[in-house]
Chain A
Amino acid sequence: MKVTIDGIEIEVEPGTTVLQAARMIGGDVVPPAMCYYSKLKDTGGNCRACLVEVSKGSEADPRPMPKMMPSCKTGVMDGMEVKVKTSERALDARKAVTEFLLINHPLDCPVCDQAGECDLQNLSFKHGLEKTRFKEEKRTFEPENIGDKIQLHMNRCILCYRCVHTAEQVCGSRNHGVLNRGDHAQISTYVSAAIDHEMSGNMIDVCPVGALTDKTFRFKSRVWFNKPFDAHRNCDKCCGKTTLWMFGNEIQRVTARKDEFHEVEEFICNECRFDHKEVSDWVIEGPRKFEKWSVINQSNYTRKMDKVVIDTEKQILEGRDQDRKKISMKEVPYKTSEK
């Protein structure tokens, strides 16, 4: 089947969705997806961030579709023409969705562990308004433990349902779900101890925002101060292929490997994720690369770094020395050699 996205033609199998076809093309025709997750069944359709304009239905029925369509749930038809970034209406809808997702979001990025690898930050950066039009109080919840290794900050949740599908499909049980309706809807487990499945940690990885976080990593580091390395170990519960987030020689966090769409390549078990924080537990393969624009490249070690030269360094140090002598601590030696 032939489908044209923003003027780029591509041949795809029947049954492909518009979003998948766009991802095959790649680049900036890929609509943002906050809820769809290709590794899980039945996801998508909730966030509406991926809305696109279908300007021609198909060869057989060329009428345009009147509404914006969720690309993750819209199957391609032969001859379909789709507009992603060339459609004013689709961009407007995306802006609207971004605004809606943010009105009840606490915007506590400075203290959120997800900051730096958060899909909502990326979406807001691209499509968000710089000012809020929402004056009211935001809805709030108390943080909650989901099992002993995961913490839920419901305030940050965008109700994408990914973790619900993970619990159902990867952990094989329906003990994690949504309570209540509307903007007071809440991800919960009823009994927080109920989640003790050995794959439960994957909920952290699928969560596009900082609503589900790793308690063994909480407040340890900003993600961009960590250096990610691919590593593996022999594991009888999962593939054992992970990314280690290092600070010096310390493994601060272990996650599954995420691809360019921030989806995990393969799910990993809780033992790999939480219980192996020694370098000797792992065979390290090498640094993991991220998109060019990702903030994680702040700690760029793949390229040789120049030495930083500060021209005024000498004066600064001199001044500091004078100040020290002038102001206080005359008696305290600046360097041991000064004595």
Chain B
Amino acid sequence: MGQKILFEKIHIPGIKTYDVYRENGGYASVEKALKMNPDDITEEVKTSGLRGRGGAGFPVGLKWSFIDKKSGNPRHLVCNADESEPGTFKDRYLMEYIPHLLIEGMITSSFALGANLSYIYIRGEYMWVFKTLERAIKEAYAAGWLGKNIKGSGYDLDLHVHCGGGAYICGEETALIESLEGKRGNPRIKPPFPAVKGLWQNPTVVNNVESIATVPWIILNSGEDYSKIGLGRSTGTKLFSVSGHVKKPGVYEIEMGMTVDEFMNSDEYCGGMIDDRPLKGLIPGGSSVPILPKHLIFKTANGEDRLMTYESLSDGGFATGSSLGSGGFIVYNDTACIVRNTWNFSRFYHHESCGQCSPCREGTGWMEKILWRIENGQGTEEDIDLLWSIQAKIEGNTICPLGDAAAWPVAAAIRHFRDEFEYHVRFPEKIKNRDHFVNEPFEKVKHLLQNTTV
């Protein structure tokens, strides 16, 4: 049993309520932090090696140290609870079952940053979680952990939850800030970075729910203790939200450094493949990261064990690796159709592109249409190359990383599963009933491709 940091107390009955949370040692980190020097807290977080859990993996302490304290403008901490990445549902679990942990983290972190007005931006679809958080915040105000002169320390903090309108793009930190300001959620062009000019042009830090919820533990123990957990530069524990063809989908907290094999096949975690069917592919970090084919899941290209760390999952770059992303662990068995899955992702990005910059606005729609054609047996051989060319033209040419996130899954699918695309193009009659691969796994029909020439 690995160490639990976020889920340590999650199974205590009634932990959702303030009283139970407090009885179980809740808000102790705030008590400790208020007696510390804010910069020392930032130092602790830096030492911990905690990396942002929202997807980019940027060190949290380092981000905090960039916040502009000299300008004298008010500072803000914004918690990114927009969690809309397909395959990722870890933040919801935390907020739903142990909301006070996030609030405690928000107070401690806001104190470290010297922020007196902080926000939690939650996606609109999480309405019931929004209500849970509101209730918890009310309790925290009543108990004196929020508001003016918290526990006699002279520190003031107001915390609000803001509900988004249901756009994936509002999870991008600058779009989130725009949306919070009441504008259309278009990402801003960086620089300036939020740490200098963020919410209402004030210095702002945006962090993921999981990142912030980890801070109380780091303060209560120490940054050094945290850095001892995990492996190398991937310190601490990480939540993975597992979905797809495994026996036990769900949210798991693991110490980083476990092998992918153990995570997927041990009974404590995913419990192996459902119906014991063969594995086909794995997306380790949410829909935006490249899919890994069977032979690259448990071993990296140079034969080492693939581990659940930032470094190991991205080993081999995009050619033979993927990325830890936001921890949305999606497993596919041999009944899954990679073409349809890629189309489905493309459909998502097409729908969610904000439309601000041309390559993403036009490219996502174009890719979706082509993938739809291929998936429905109307594609041509050239369409596969066309798709490749389009994704390459989107990647890197856009304002925000959504463009890249739309391009990578398509690129990886073609890179590793080109034969499935070819199968769709060459045998339209085989796929016309939409049940291909369910009755007839691709491995069994793959040989047909060898008999065709283009």
Q: Are A45 and B357 in touch, CB under 8 angstroms? A: yes
CB contacts under 8 Å to A, within B355-370, are 355-359, 361-366, 369-370
Q: Are A182 and B366 in touch, CB under 8 angstroms? A: no
| Interface residue? B350 (CB, 8 A) | yes
- Interface stretch, picked from B56-64, B101-109, B318-326, B395-403, is B395-403
Chain B residues near A184 (CB-CB < 8 A): 355
Q: Are B357 and A183 in touch, CB under 8 angstroms? A: no
Chain A residues near B397 (CB-CB < 8 A): 48, 51, 67-68, 93, 96-97
Count of A-B residue pairs with CB < 8 Å: 91
Chain B residues near A134 (CB-CB < 8 A): 366
| Interface residue? B36 (CB, 8 A) | no
- Interface stretch, picked from A99-107, A108-116, A270-278, A304-312, is A99-107
Q: Are A181 and B355 in touch, CB under 8 angstroms? A: yes
Chain B residues near A279 (CB-CB < 8 A): none
Q: Are B354 and A97 in touch, CB under 8 angstroms? A: no
Chain B residues near A30 (CB-CB < 8 A): none
Chain B residues near A332 (CB-CB < 8 A): none
**Chain A contact residue count (CB 8 A cutoff):** 36
Q: Are B358 and A185 in touch, CB under 8 angstroms? A: no
Q: How far is the CA of A139 from the CA of B366 in the complex (A)?
A: 11
Hey, what's the 0/1 contact readout for A65-77 against B, CB within 8 Å counting as 1?
0111010010000
Q: Interface SS of chain B: helix, strand, loop or mixed? A: helix
CB contacts under 8 Å to B, within A161-180, are 161, 177-178, 180
Q: How far is the CA of A103 from the CA of B354 in the complex (A)?
A: 18
Q: How far is the CA of A135 from the CA of B394 in the complex (A)?
A: 19
Chain B residues near A93 (CB-CB < 8 A): 393, 397
CB distance from B345 to the nearest CB of A (A): 15
Q: Are B167 and A181 in touch, CB under 8 angstroms? A: yes
| Interface residue? A246 (CB, 8 A) | no
CB distance from B105 to the nearest CB of A (A): 32
Q: Are B355 and A45 in touch, CB under 8 angstroms? A: no
CB contacts under 8 Å to A, within B60-90, are none
Chain A residues near B189 (CB-CB < 8 A): 44-45, 70, 73
Closest to A75 in B: B191
Q: Are B353 and A136 in touch, CB under 8 angstroms? A: no
Chain B residues near A178 (CB-CB < 8 A): 184, 355
Q: Are B361 and A185 in touch, CB under 8 angstroms? A: yes
Q: Could you write out 18 A-B pairs with CB less than 8 Å apart?
A: A45-B189, A46-B357, A66-B396, A67-B397, A68-B396, A93-B397, A96-B393, A96-B397, A99-B393, A100-B363, A100-B393, A101-B358, A104-B362, A136-B369, A178-B184, A182-B351, A183-B365, A185-B355
20 more contacts with CB within 8 A, not counting A103-B362, A183-B353, are A45-B399, A46-B358, A48-B358, A51-B397, A67-B396, A93-B397, A96-B394, A96-B397, A100-B361, A103-B366, A104-B365, A158-B358, A159-B361, A180-B355, A181-B167, A181-B352, A182-B353, A183-B350, A183-B361, A185-B354
